[in-house]
């Protein structure tokens, strides 16, 4: 018989590389970035602390303001849009439709593709000279205009549309699983009380799925903060930097403009955004348990 210490030693030994990788690559790198955001770093890292100077400069940068504001516009519209469409599709599919499998497959397939593919497909579809606009015009509606892709004020909304297209299927799948797990007796009770189906969904069934909704919101919120590929493929942040997002701002700052200080400060702001999105979730989880 091996002693308790010996048994644990194998387990510990097996986990050691992972622990080292986690400590160095996740937490070590995170600490490095946070530290560097308070230094004089420019093209190369420099370890002289200068307080909040990088953040002062960051918040004085118009491009950062646009990126950060875009994250909220994109976040609010994408999360509400995907949640509403995904839940609606789940509810409709749940009402015993024909060809349920086909609908489910169609709603979910975009999720399997790269954001680069999604971005390019939507870029061509929304292109004013080759895509939807020219098609509608060729049908005879000569004044039809849909040029959001090249419109400074509207470009960010094309990213919202493409992201909803890619993400709604996931919400549908999660919510449908939730709907299918609702107890038969709940439906019987609403039936006995003579509550109409739609009313039963709104007042009884969906409130029961609240934990799932919160999970969906967290998943979508993390997608928002991490969104990079989609912007690169769809608008490349343009026109100008009108549809830029923080994830792209950081990568450009670090690897194109070679400004490590600014990249680090912006990355720390992204981290704060993730914490802000997660805090209510962990608070709820803790309170429930």
Stretch binding other proteins (CB under 8 A), from 46-54, 57-65, 142-150, 191-199: 191-199
Q: What tokens were used for 259?
A: 């400004």
Of 50-58, 67-75, 122-130, 147-155, the segment contacting other proteins by CB under 8 A is 122-130
User: Taking the complex as a whole, how short is the minimal distance between the CB of residue 242 and other proteins, in angstroms?
Assistant: 18
Nearest to 96 by CA among 228, 163, 187: 187
Candidates 150, 154, 195, 213: give the one binding other proteins (CB under 8 A): 195
**Does residue 278 bind other proteins (CB under 8 A)?**
yes
Among residue numbers 96 through 115, which ones bind other proteins (CB under 8 A)?
96-97, 103, 105-115
Tally Cβ neighbours within 10 Å of residue 8: 11
Q: Does position 203 bind other proteins by CB under 8 A?
A: no
150 near other proteins, rule: CB under 8 A: no
The packing angle between helices 155-180 and 100-108, to 10°, is 140
The nearest distance, CB 51 to other proteins, in angstroms, is 20
Question: What track of x and - describes contact with other proteins for positions 65 through 84 (by CB under 8 A)?
Answer: --------------------
- C-alpha 50/C-alpha 73 separation (Å) is 32
The closest alpha carbon to 54, from 272, 283, 264, belongs to 264
- Alpha helix (H) residue ranges in 196-245: 197-200, 206-208, 210-226, 229-234
- When asked if residue 285 is in the footprint of other proteins (CB under 8 A), the reply is no
Where do the H-state alpha helices sit in the chain? 4-21, 29-36, 53-59, 62-94, 100-108, 115-126, 132-138, 155-180, 184-192, 197-200, 206-208, 210-226, 229-234, 246-255, 260-288
Using the rule CB under 8 A, is 130 a contact of other proteins?
Answer: yes
Q: How far is the CB of 233 from other proteins (least distance, A)?
A: 6
* Minimum separation from the CB atom of position 6 to other proteins (A): 10
Answer yes or no whether residue 10 interacts with other proteins by CB under 8 A: yes
The Cα 6–Cα 57 span in angstroms is: 55
- Nearer to other proteins (CB atom), residue 94 or residue 151: 94
Binding other proteins by CB under 8 A: which of 228, 238, 239, 284? 228
Least Å from the CB of residue 255 to other proteins = 7
Of residues 90 and 242, the one with the C-beta less far from other proteins: 90
Nearer to other proteins, 24 or 69 (CB): 24
Q: Which residues contact 227 (CB under 8 A, 6 or more apart)?
A: 74, 115, 159, 163, 245, 247
Is residue 33 a contact residue for other proteins (CB under 8 A)?
A: yes
């Amino acid at each position: 018989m091996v002693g308790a210490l010996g048994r644990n030693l194998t387990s510990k030994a097996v986990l050691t590389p992972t622990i080292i990788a986690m400590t160095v690559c996740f937490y070590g790198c995170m600490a490095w970035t946070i530290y560097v955001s308070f230094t004089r770093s420019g093209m190369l890292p420099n370890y002289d602390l200068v307080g909040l100077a990088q953040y002062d400069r960051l918040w004085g940068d118009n491009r950062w303001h646009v990126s950060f504001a875009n994250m909220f516009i994109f976040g609010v519209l994408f999360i509400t849009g995907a949640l509403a469409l995904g839940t609606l599709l789940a509810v409709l599919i749940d009402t015993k439709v024909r060809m349920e499998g086909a609908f489910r497959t169609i709603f979910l397939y975009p999720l399997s593709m790269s954001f680069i593919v999604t971005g390019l497909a939507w870029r061509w579809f929304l292109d004013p000279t080759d895509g939807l606009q020219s098609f509608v015009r060729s049908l005879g509606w000569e004044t039809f205009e849909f040029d959001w892709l090249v419109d400074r004020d509207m470009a960010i909304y094309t990213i919202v549309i493409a992201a909803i297209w890619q993400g709604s299927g996931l919400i549908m799948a999660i919510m449908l699983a939730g709907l299918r797990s609702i107890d038969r007796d709940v439906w019987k009770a609403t039936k006995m009380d003579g509550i109409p189906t739609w009313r039963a969904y709104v007042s009884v069934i969906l409130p029961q799925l609240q934990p799932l909704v919160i999970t969906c919101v967290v998943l979508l919120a993390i997608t928002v903060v991490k969104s990079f590929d989609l912007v690169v493929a769809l608008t490349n942040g343009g026109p100008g930097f009108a549809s830029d997002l923080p994830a792209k701002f950081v990568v450009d700052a670090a690897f194109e403009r070679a400004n490590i200080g600014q990249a680090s400060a912006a990355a720390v702001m992204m981290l704060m955004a993730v914490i802000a999105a997660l805090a209510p979730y962990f608070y709820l989880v803790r309170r429930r348990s």
